[in-house]
Amino acid sequence: MEPPRWHTNVLIPCPWCGDREEVEFRYGGPVPAGYPPDPQTVDDRAWARYLYYRPNPKGALEERWVHTAGCRRWFRLTRDTVTHEITPASDASA
Amino acid sequence: MSRLPQGGRIDRSRPLRFSFNGTSYSGYAGDTLASALLANDVRVVGRSVVYGRPRGIFTAGIEEPNALVQIGPEPMLRATQVELVDGLQAAGLNGKGRAVPEQDAARFDKTYVHCEVLVIGGGRAGLTAALEAGRSGDRVILVDEQAELGGRLLTAGWNDWLTSTITQLSSMPEVRLLTRATAFGLYDQKLALVAERRPNGQRLWQVRGRKIVIATGAHERPLVFANNDRPGIMLAGAVRTYINRYGVAPGQRAVIFTSNDSTKPLEADLQRAGISLEAIIDVRTGQAIVDTVAESGVALESVIVVPLTGNHNRREIQCNLLCVSGGFNPALHLFSQAQGRLRYDDGLACFVPEAPIDGVEVIGAASGDLNGRGQGTIVPSWVIPGDGEDWSTHFIDLERDATVADVQQALGTGMRSVEHVKRFTTIGTGSDQGKTAGINESAIIATQLGQPVGAVGVTTYRPPYVPIPFALLAGRNRRELFEPIRVTPLHTWHVAHGAVFENAGQWKRPRYYPREDEDTDAAVARECRAARENVAAVDVSTLGKIDIQGPDALEFLNRIYTNAFDTLKERSCRYALMCGADGMVFDDGVVMHLGPDHWLATTTTGGAAAVLDWMEEWLQTEWPDLRVHLTSVTDQWAAIAVVGPRSRNVVHSLFPNLSVGPDSFPFLAIRENEIRDMPVRLHRITFSGELAYELWTPSWYGLSLWEAVMVAGEPLGITPYGLGAMEILRAEKGYIIIGQDTDGTVTPQDLGIDWMISKRKPFIGQRSHRRVDTTRTDRKHLVGLLPLDGDALLAEGSQLVLQSDRTSRYSVGHVTSSYRSPTLGRTFALALLQSGRERIGSTIYAPLDGQVVAASVVEPIFYDKENARRDS
């Protein structure tokens, strides 16, 4: 008998290692607005926004995680902050 | 004896001895403690927690609120759940269990499993679901809290079906059946926690199921009437269980008090057991029991029956067993924990799942299918008035001794939410979590307020479904297995030489090496003097070490650290600082330029993992174009610092062909050499301010190198030293320890180390150094403190104020490091002080424990300000 197929979204989907338990990962927070190419040209308000403001939606949130106890790669996923349902990113970019 | 001559699933060929409250009894294999007590006519098991009322066995299962017992170190077990074993010694509780000081000998383990289908509950619905899932070849785990699979069927004579089903399931290789296993928590993403009782302890199963099937059945609920708590009053379904499953007659003269059809089969069971059925009081026919009598003050002797309407002719019926059924509550605790919502069903008079949730299926009685229970038509009678206005013996929660009077009082104070009433009355907060009480509470609130039950709702179900020992959650992660212990390659030497160890994160590091009769201070002072006056050595292998390679390594380091490395030649190193994007000091270390495109950075002992994650984050998320590879080599290198004015002599004798003069091997230079075939890299770096060499070798040579250092230094009297001396030596020089002298709110400018900040290139955190907040002039600066009384030791963490009397209202800083310096012959400290650099020369005060220590504010360097010793 062919072994049963096992795919699920109940674990964290590392794009390099597959689904693993959350304890292997470190949370990297919501994907921030990009680091300004030249921070020195950014005014105080915009810089404070980069430093301290994070989205906090009820629903889908794009996040970064790092597989600390595995391949050490950073990657993105989308997590529903209500149901914790996780949707893997379409590619493995960090 | 109330044991029936035949029947039941007990093994009469295996009698067992046990004791209860010091008296010896006997039972059979297959008994629970509860069934064995009933077979021995033990009717009173304990006393209630608030009123001390006698209480007996009320149920036959996990929902038991009354029959709590202590067995050895286990303080609150349900007699209905305890399997009888030979020699069992149990004691009834007077409300509370007793913590036992002795170590629990039980063993607790954990295991992690995945499956396609997890079925919770091994009754008819659960077994059927498992069989169906098993046939598809899926991995199936079925857990059931009882010793035997079957649930209600064990009472109902389904033996052939049970045997056949279990045989089929057992033959399926991908199906695992777990008995004595209670699923007590259902968490996000279908993680179920299951506690399995084993002969000498428990095992925690953490099960990830693609699909969860909840087949947890339903709990019968009692009716609420005056004096409804006496021993002899029992749920009707429990009476059937004791008769049919355990072959026990729980009484001789019975009355049935019911609101539904589920008690029908009980009539035949009672007859078969030779129990006389004195009366059936069915609220649907307009009758009710309004009180119970126990002349002796202990167990039930009679009940008082009146018609609910019309004339109030009282009737007293003698009986010692009252079988009560108020309907059924689907066991939806786990469904609710998984965020499933409930709806009140008027026809069933209970809460059922409102809507399915993804991946979690509820089946059988738990879903509200009460046909198997034979509930039929139900007329819910949530509370039955007594003779008078007294509601103080209408017990809702037997374990908590909470009554209708308590609910009335809660409502009288204006509370309306079921959650508030729960907290006021404590209903549902006992170790049984109100399994027989919760829905009655909601319905009684609804009755009192004239609202529908569904509008009142139920309190939130939270894990755990049953009491779980903390020891089970800890498993083997206790004592030396609580956390990994890391030791350096030199550890055995430290142990053999009597080191006193200190935890530095997971590392064990020597604090000092006492000689005979030395106390801590004396040993640390001796080690300090050796480093300042002669030669000493310290194991610094715990430093985090990150190997950095690639054509863009220099650019990467320039961006990560505040320092610029363009001018750092190969075979040289530099003290380096990194900040977070917010500009606050994050970590420090030494960056070593080892060769073309090859660098190595050390980190603080505690910061190694976080710094590597941090570097990888920037490399992978913001700068993926940089060609750089990072590798943790913390464990690959042993590192030994040889320190002191005579360290050069020791290094020279170890490496006779190495030129060690101050010009040929200057401060911050790196050299490579070897001792026999042992490769050694030498670095002129110092964390003490003295002339010092840091000797690195691959970790498997570490112990040999340390022993070689000790041999070479012996003629000079080389002294091993530990963290105690190391901290004093560095503080005398004003060298900070990240995390002790900084706390994530401190900039390099606050520390007065602006010289480490490059102005010629961008780095992480640079922009933040000109924010309004970081350029304030009243920020806290790192300063030195010298107590006016050189014997007074400031406590680390002491707050600092500006006045010596009690008029200071605000703290202006705190002490970060404080020591007795053998070198200075006095105490000294480092502190973060508001506008600290402007306060140098003034006096500051540290009030603590009723005393005030006055100290002069000075520059944060106490020794060799010119660095003459370091550079010598």
Any B CB within 8 A of A33 CB: no
| Partners of residue B745 in chain A, C-beta under 8 Å | none
CB atoms within 10 A of CB B821: 19
What CATH number should be reported for the domain holding residue B345? 3.50.50.60
pLDDT value of position A34: 78
Q: Would you place residue A5 in the very low, low, confident or very high pLDDT band (cuts 50, 70, 90)?
A: very low
Both B567 and B716 in a single domain? no
Q: Would you place residue B450 in the very low, low, confident or very high pLDDT band (cuts 50, 70, 90)?
A: very high
DSSP-assigned letters across all residues of B641-664: EEESTTHHHHHHHH-TTS--STTT
- Whether B456 is in a domain gets the answer no
Q: Indicate the length of chain B as a whole number.
A: 872
Distance from CA of A27 to the nearest CA of B (A): 11
- Say whether pLDDT at A8 is over 50: no
Question: Are A73 and B620 an interchain contact pair (Cβ–Cβ within 8 Å)?
Answer: yes
Both B216 and B149 in a single domain? yes
pLDDT value of position B104: 77
Contacts of B547 (CB under 8 A, 6+ apart): B598, B599, B600, B630, B631, B632, B633
Question: Are A40 and B191 an interchain contact pair (Cβ–Cβ within 8 Å)?
Answer: no
Using the CB atoms, write b or e for B748-774: b if 16+ within 10 Å.
Answer: bbbbbbeebbbeeeebbbbbbbebeeb
- Say whether pLDDT at A91 is over 90: no
Percentage of chain B with pLDDT > 70? Answer: 100
Average of per-residue pLDDT values in chain B: 95
State mean pLDDT over B142-171: 94
Both B354 and B364 in a single domain? yes
A-B interface: how many C-beta pairs under 8 angstroms? 70
Highest mean pLDDT among B51-60, B354-363, B425-434: B51-60
Rounded to two decimals, the ipTM of the complex is 0.89
- Say whether pLDDT at B694 is over 90: yes
- Say whether pLDDT at B229 is over 80: yes
Any A CB within 8 A of B71 CB: no
Domain end residue (candidates: B636, B666, B689): B636
- Say whether pLDDT at B96 is over 90: no
Q: Would you place residue B247 in the very low, low, confident or very high pLDDT band (cuts 50, 70, 90)?
A: very high
Which of A1, A7, A8 is the best mutation test for B, with the most CBs of B within 10 A? A8
Structural domain that includes position B334: 106-221+328-375
The helix/strand/coil state of B82 is coil
Question: Are B767 and A6 an interchain contact pair (Cβ–Cβ within 8 Å)?
Answer: no
**pTM of the predicted structure, to 2 decimals:** 0.84
Residues B17-41 pLDDT 10s? 999 999 999 999 999 999 999 999 9
- Say whether pLDDT at B303 is over 70: yes
Question: Are A28 and B617 an interchain contact pair (Cβ–Cβ within 8 Å)?
Answer: yes
Q: Which of B193-202, B475-484, B733-742 has the lowest mean pLDDT?
A: B475-484
Q: Would you place residue B495 in the very low, low, confident or very high pLDDT band (cuts 50, 70, 90)?
A: very high
- Whether B439 is in a domain gets the answer no
Q: Would you place residue B167 in the very low, low, confident or very high pLDDT band (cuts 50, 70, 90)?
A: very high
Q: Which of A6-20, B214-228, B711-725, B834-848 has the lowest mean pLDDT?
A: A6-20
Please tell me the distance from the alpha carbon of residue B398 to that of residue B240, in angstroms, as a whole number.
21
Distance from CA of B621 to the nearest CA of A (A): 5
Residues B726-782 pLDDT 10s? 999 999 999 999 999 999 999 999 999 999 999 999 999 999 999 999 999 999 999
- Whether B118 is in a domain gets the answer yes
| Partners of residue A89 in chain B, C-beta under 8 Å | none
- Whether B856 is in a domain gets the answer yes
Both B629 and B667 in a single domain? no
Any A CB within 8 A of B617 CB: yes
State mean pLDDT over B568-577: 97
- Whether B686 is in a domain gets the answer yes
Q: Would you place residue A11 in the very low, low, confident or very high pLDDT band (cuts 50, 70, 90)?
A: confident
Quick one: closest CA in A to B340, which residue?
A83
Any A CB within 8 A of B610 CB: no
Any A CB within 8 A of B609 CB: yes
Distance from CA of A39 to the nearest CA of B (A): 6
Residues B12-16: contacts with CB within 8 Å, 24+ apart? B16/B84, B16/B85, B16/B86, B16/B88
Both B660 and B676 in a single domain? yes
Question: Are A66 and B617 an interchain contact pair (Cβ–Cβ within 8 Å)?
Answer: yes
Question: Are A51 and B139 an interchain contact pair (Cβ–Cβ within 8 Å)?
Answer: no
Any A CB within 8 A of B455 CB: no
What CATH number should be reported for the domain holding residue B521? 3.30.1360.120
Q: Which tokens in the block code for residue B245?
A: 């499953």
3-class secondary structure per residue, B592-643: EEEECCEEEEEECCCCHHHHHHHHHHHHHHHCCCCCCEEEECHHHEEEEEEE
Residues B499-541 pLDDT 10s? 999 999 999 999 999 998 999 999 999 999 999 999 999 999 9
Residues B369-416 pLDDT 10s? 999 999 999 999 999 998 888 999 999 999 999 999 999 999 999 999
Residues B614-638 pLDDT 10s? 999 999 999 999 999 999 999 999 9
pLDDT value of position A10: 57
Both B683 and B707 in a single domain? yes
- Say whether pLDDT at B310 is over 80: no
Any B CB within 8 A of A74 CB: yes
Both B607 and B719 in a single domain? no
pLDDT value of position B300: 97
State mean pLDDT over B301-321: 89
Distance from CA of A18 to the nearest CA of B (A): 15
Quick one: closest CA in B to A85, which residue?
B189
Any B CB within 8 A of A51 CB: yes
Question: Are B771 and A34 an interchain contact pair (Cβ–Cβ within 8 Å)?
Answer: no
Any B CB within 8 A of A4 CB: yes
Distance from CA of B572 to the nearest CA of A (A): 29
State mean pLDDT over B92-100: 86
Both B651 and B514 in a single domain? yes
State mean pLDDT over B213-235: 97
Both B688 and B829 in a single domain? no
| Partners of residue A9 in chain B, C-beta under 8 Å | 189
Both B802 and B783 in a single domain? yes
Cβ atoms of residues B165 and B158 within 8 Å: no
Both B555 and B689 in a single domain? no
Residues B791-818 pLDDT 10s? 999 999 999 999 988 788 899 999 999 9
Kindly give the residue spans of alpha helices, DSSP state H, lying in B378-428. 404-412, 418-425
Residues A60-82 pLDDT 10s? 999 999 998 899 999 999 998 88
pLDDT value of position B1: 77
* Closest CB to A44 among B116, B174, B772: B772
- Whether B685 is in a domain gets the answer yes
Instruction: Please give the angle made by the CA atoms of A49, A55 and A59, to the nearest 5 degrees.
Output: 170
Cβ atoms of residues B624 and B547 within 8 Å: no
Query: Looking at the domain covering A25-88, what would its CATH class be?
Result: alpha beta
Q: Would you place residue B475 in the very low, low, confident or very high pLDDT band (cuts 50, 70, 90)?
A: very high
Any B CB within 8 A of A47 CB: yes
Both B531 and B520 in a single domain? yes
* Closest CB to A47 among B189, B616, B771: B771
pLDDT value of position B776: 95
- Say whether pLDDT at A4 is over 50: no
Query: What letter does residue B388 receive in the DSSP assignment?
Result: S
pLDDT value of position B835: 97
CB atoms within 10 A of CB B826: 16
Any A CB within 8 A of B567 CB: no
- Say whether pLDDT at B568 is over 50: yes
Number of domains into which chain B is organized: 4
Q: Which tokens in the block code for residue A57?
A: 């939606």
| Partners of residue B609 in chain A, C-beta under 8 Å | 68
State mean pLDDT over B853-860: 97
Q: Which tokens in the block code for residue B323?
A: 């079988």
Any A CB within 8 A of B767 CB: yes
- Say whether pLDDT at B446 is over 60: yes
pLDDT value of position B73: 86
What CATH number should be reported for the domain holding residue B631? 3.30.70.1400
Residues B636-683 pLDDT 10s? 999 999 999 999 999 999 999 999 999 999 999 999 999 999 999 999
Q: Would you place residue A3 in the very low, low, confident or very high pLDDT band (cuts 50, 70, 90)?
A: very low
Residues B539-561 pLDDT 10s? 999 999 999 999 999 999 999 99
Q: Would you place residue A2 in the very low, low, confident or very high pLDDT band (cuts 50, 70, 90)?
A: very low
Any B CB within 8 A of A40 CB: yes
Question: Are A10 and B616 an interchain contact pair (Cβ–Cβ within 8 Å)?
Answer: no
Cβ atoms of residues B586 and B748 within 8 Å: no
- Whether B736 is in a domain gets the answer no
| Partners of residue A21 in chain B, C-beta under 8 Å | 112
